[in-house]
């Protein structure tokens, strides 16, 4: 449950206001004020009918004005209303554009501060739908719904007050119609919300499946399923069924407001006719009241429609609250004073992704400045998790991690990231040029520095065969390059950044000889300037490490030392090394 819902539902205006940038607050206030002013002027225009009708019933004047005087008043109110509505429309559109810009920026800033554990498999689909659909819908709501909602509400209020002053009986009839309509709107809102809760999970599922279908085209085509993806078909069918069910709930909502609205109009006509027949209301005034009642109910029904439209977005606003209220990693405001630059220390670290499934158990070891430490162990033993904890993608369950001599929680994230270069096994490249993807490591680097880092990582050989050289685009995710070439680019980033600590998830187990040679050369270059923590797969890397940390399948450290020390001991490392050595001797006949 979001914080907003936990404290009761705040007003819709306040929820929209928090989405406006600081620069747009005054414009949004003007939008609300102009909408209210437009509603007041419209209400006064309707009220003019009552005194004007009295002048047609034989009275020379009504409230000090004759018929033509009231007509002039009506014309002036109409002109003022047109100007105010024009200015309000401009303010509404400017506020809508501000919300669209500001929401995308704020959500992006918030996502950058969330722990990696907040993200899950469906995040890509959810965020894609948010950026492409929800933001536009909320912007359109401000442009077309919120202002009209305020305008109609003010118009209804002015008309009720004016008619009460003119004739208490008629005013009470109008006033009593409002709570009846509000009750129907409340029931309609329930129907709309019920329908949204049915369609939202189905829409989320189909968004996830579409993203999955696009990402997995290679696998699907290899399996002959590129034209038929059962999971996507099932999600589409479920979405269609949910939309049909939601349509019935929406129809019920419209029937409630529409039918009750018509019944109220009929009752108003009946009461006006009875008053006229009893002689307590003039015939012309009765006709004027009936006309005003029709316009009043039209406004009231439009108010209900706009309210339902805005309420329809409450689920989107709740989703936004879930993002904005998600807990971020706490960090100090001021940078810490580093006492041991280039060092990493883990002390009694325990960690679980799920509370009942520990991944790391009492892990302790040190990476001294300039040292290369290799992590080895079975798949699922927590090697990658250790590197993620050092980078503070997650916080440890217990224990402590120090980088540069200071606990990671006591450093601003920016300061921590300045000390680290991370080379993931699954490298992601942006849909940009080779040079731009390397420059991610240090945006202020010159072209020559980018090319020098690329040359050291072997990227220049890739450049030589591409048509646009360093300006060649690599495609989304770097699909234009092989896995080994992508990792060369990632290592070039690390070389360019020149961070004192490098976290390297070695992917050489699946590389060809050329890519493996380049990456091994880069590891040696990085050793000259940085401390290295390597998730090692290749025997050469393992043998050359200053310290080897051996993890077991339960995430505990079972052995540590240099290769020469561990190879002569019975235990997991000797078995691991023997298995790797045998695998390295395999040849395809």
Classify residue 329: in a domain, yes or no.
no
At 511, the pLDDT band (50, 70, 90 cuts) reads low
Q: What is the DSSP letter of 401?
A: E
Domain that holds residue 232: 3-324
Do the beta carbons of residue 477 and residue 318 sit within 8 Å?
A: no
In a domain, residue 118? The reply is yes
Model pLDDT, residue 583: 64
Residues 70 and 185 in one domain: yes
Q: Are residues 340 and 398 in the same domain?
A: yes
Going across the sheet that includes 372-376, the strands are: 420-423, 501-505, 531-535, 372-376, 547-551, 557-561
Burial letters 155-177, b for 16+ CB under 10 A, else e: bbbbbbebbeebbeebbebbbeb
Can you give 139-176 as a three-state secondary structure string? HHHHHHHHHHHHHHHHHHHHHHHHHHHHCHHHHHHHHH
Backbone angles phi, psi at 445, to 5 degrees: -65, 145
453 and 319, same domain (yes or no) = no
Co-location of 575 and 435 in the same domain: no
Q: Quick one: 228 and 289 in the same domain?
A: yes
Given 304, 324, 344, the domain boundary residue is 324
| Domain-terminating residue out of 301, 324, 347 | 324
Q: Which pLDDT does position 279 carry in this prediction?
A: 82
pLDDT at position 366 is 94
Q: Does the structure show a pLDDT above 80 at 556?
A: yes
Q: Is the pLDDT of residue 18 over 50?
A: yes
Query: What CA–CA distance (Å, rounded) separates 522 from 502?
Result: 12
Within 10 angstroms of residue 354's Cβ, the number of other Cβ atoms is 7
> Is the domain of 250 the same as that of 237?
yes
d(CA 286, CA 173): 13
pLDDT digit string, tens, across residues 294-334 = 888 888 888 877 877 777 777 778 878 888 888 887 888 88
Burial class of residue 118 in the structure, from the number of CB atoms within 10 Å of its CB (0-12 exposed, 13-18 middle, 19+ buried): middle
Number of domains in the chain: 3
Other CB atoms within 10 Å distance of the CB of residue 307: 22
Residue 58 lies in a domain: yes
Q: Is residue 244 part of a domain?
A: yes
Domain shared by 320 and 342, yes or no = no
Identify whether the C-beta of residue 155 lies closer than 8 Å to the C-beta of residue 43.
Answer: yes
Residue 352 lies in a domain: yes
Is residue 524, in this structure, part of any structural domain at all?
A: no
In DSSP notation, 548-566 reads EEEE-TTS-EEEEE-HHHH
Among candidate residues 296, 324, 352, the one where a domain is terminated: 324
CA distances from 122 to 128, 321, 367, 476, 583 (A): 10, 18, 36, 19, 37
CATH number for 562: 3.40.50.300
pLDDT band with cut points at 50, 70 and 90 for residue 517: confident
Residues 318 and 347 in one domain: no
CATH code for the domain of 270 = 1.20.1560.10
* Residue 523: inside a domain: no
Give the burial string for 386-395 (b: 16+ CB within 10 Å, else e).
bbbbbbbebe
pLDDT in tens, 362-391: 999 999 999 999 999 888 888 989 999 999
Average pLDDT over residues 23-44: 91
pLDDT in tens, 401-459: 999 999 999 999 889 989 998 888 778 888 899 999 999 888 999 999 999 888 888 88
Terminal Cα-to-Cα distance of the chain (whole angstroms):
61
In a domain, 519, yes or no: no
> What digits encode the pLDDT tens for the residues 115-152?
777 777 667 667 777 777 888 888 888 888 888 889 99
For residues 187 and 274, membership in a common domain is answered with yes
Quick one: 281 and 293 in the same domain? Answer: yes
In terms of DSSP bridges, do strands 406-407 and 398-403 run parallel, antiparallel, or are they unpaired? antiparallel
Give yes or no for a contact between 389 and 349, defined as CB atoms under 8 angstroms apart: yes
Mean pLDDT taken over the chain = 83
**Predicted confidence (pLDDT) at residue 538 exceeds the cutoff of 60:** yes
Question: What pLDDT score was predicted for residue 6?
Answer: 40
Are 37 and 113 in the same domain? yes
Higher pLDDT, 438 or 197: 438
Q: Are residues 458 and 434 in the same domain?
A: yes
């Amino acid at each position: 449950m979001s914080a907003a819902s936990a404290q009761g539902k705040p007003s819709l205006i306040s929820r929209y206001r928090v989405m406006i940038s600081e620069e747009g607050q005054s414009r949004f206030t003007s939008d609300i004020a102009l909408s209210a002013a437009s509603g007041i002027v419209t209400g006064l225009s309707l009220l003019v009918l009552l005194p004007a009708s009295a002048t047609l019933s034989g009275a020379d004047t009504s409230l000090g004005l004759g018929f033509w005087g009231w007509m002039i008043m009506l014309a002036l109110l109409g002109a003022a209303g047109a100007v105010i509505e024009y200015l309000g429309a401009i303010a509404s559109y400017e506020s809508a554009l501000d919300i669209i810009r500001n929401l995308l920026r704020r959500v992006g800033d918030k996502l950058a501060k969330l722990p990696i554990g907040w993200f899950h498999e469906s995040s890509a689909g959810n965020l894609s739908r948010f950026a492409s659909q929800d933001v536009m819908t909320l912007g359109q709501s401000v442009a077309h719904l919120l202002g009209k909602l305020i305008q109609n509400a003010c118009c209804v209020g002015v008309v009720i007050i004016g008619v009460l002053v003119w004739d208490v009986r008629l005013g009470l009839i109008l006033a009593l119609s409002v709570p009846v309509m509000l009750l129907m709107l409340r029931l309609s809102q329930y129907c709309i919300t019920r329908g949204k809760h049915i369609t939202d999970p189905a829409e989320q599922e189909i968004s996830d499946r579409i993203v999955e279908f696009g990402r997995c085209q290679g696998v699907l085509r290899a399996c002959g399923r590129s034209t038929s993806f059962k999971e996507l078909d099932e999600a589409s069918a479920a979405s269609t069924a949910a939309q049909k069910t939601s349509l019935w709930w929406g129809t019920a909502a419209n029937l409630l407001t529409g039918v009750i609205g018509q019944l109220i109009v009929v009752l108003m006509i009946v009461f006006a006719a009875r008053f006229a027949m009893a002689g307590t209301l003039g015939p012309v005034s009765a006709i004027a009241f009936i006309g005003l009642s029709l316009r009043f109910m039209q406004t009231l029904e439009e108010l209900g429609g706009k309210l339902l439209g805005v309420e329809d977005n409450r689920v989107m606003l709740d989703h936004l609250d879930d993002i904005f209220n998600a807990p971020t990693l706490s960090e100090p405001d001021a940078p810490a004073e580093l006492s041991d630059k280039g060092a990493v220390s883990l002390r009694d670290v325990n960690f679980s992704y799920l509370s009942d499934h520990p991944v790391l158990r009492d892990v302790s070891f040190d990476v001294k400045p300039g040292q290369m430490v290799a992590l080895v162990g079975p798949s699922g033993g927590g090697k990658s998790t250790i590197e993620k904890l050092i980078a503070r993608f997650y916080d440890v369950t217990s224990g402590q991690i120090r980088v540069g001599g200071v606990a990671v929680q006591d450093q601003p994230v920016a300061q921590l990231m300045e000390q680290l270069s991370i080379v993931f096994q699954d490298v992601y490249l942006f849909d940009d040029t080779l040079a731009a993807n390397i420059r991610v490591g240090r945006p202020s680097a010159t072209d020559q520095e980018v090319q020098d880092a690329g040359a050291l990582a072997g990227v220049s050989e890739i450049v030589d065969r591409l048509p646009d050289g360093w300006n060649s685009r690599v495609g989304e995710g770097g699909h234009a390059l092989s896995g080994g070439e992508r990792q060369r680019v990632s290592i070039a980033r690390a070389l360019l950044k020149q961070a004192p600590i490098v976290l390297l998830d070695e992917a050489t187990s699946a590389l060809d000889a050329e890519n493996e040679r380049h990456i091994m050369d880069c590891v040696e270059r990085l050793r000259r300037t940085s401390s290295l923590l390597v998730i090692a797969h290749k025997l050469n890397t393992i043998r050359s490490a200053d310290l080897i940390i051996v993890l077991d399948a339960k995430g505990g450290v079972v052995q540590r030392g240099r290769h020469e020390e561990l190879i002569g001991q019975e235990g997991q490392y000797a078995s691991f090394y023997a298995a790797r050595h045998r695998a390295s001797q395999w040849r395809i006949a």
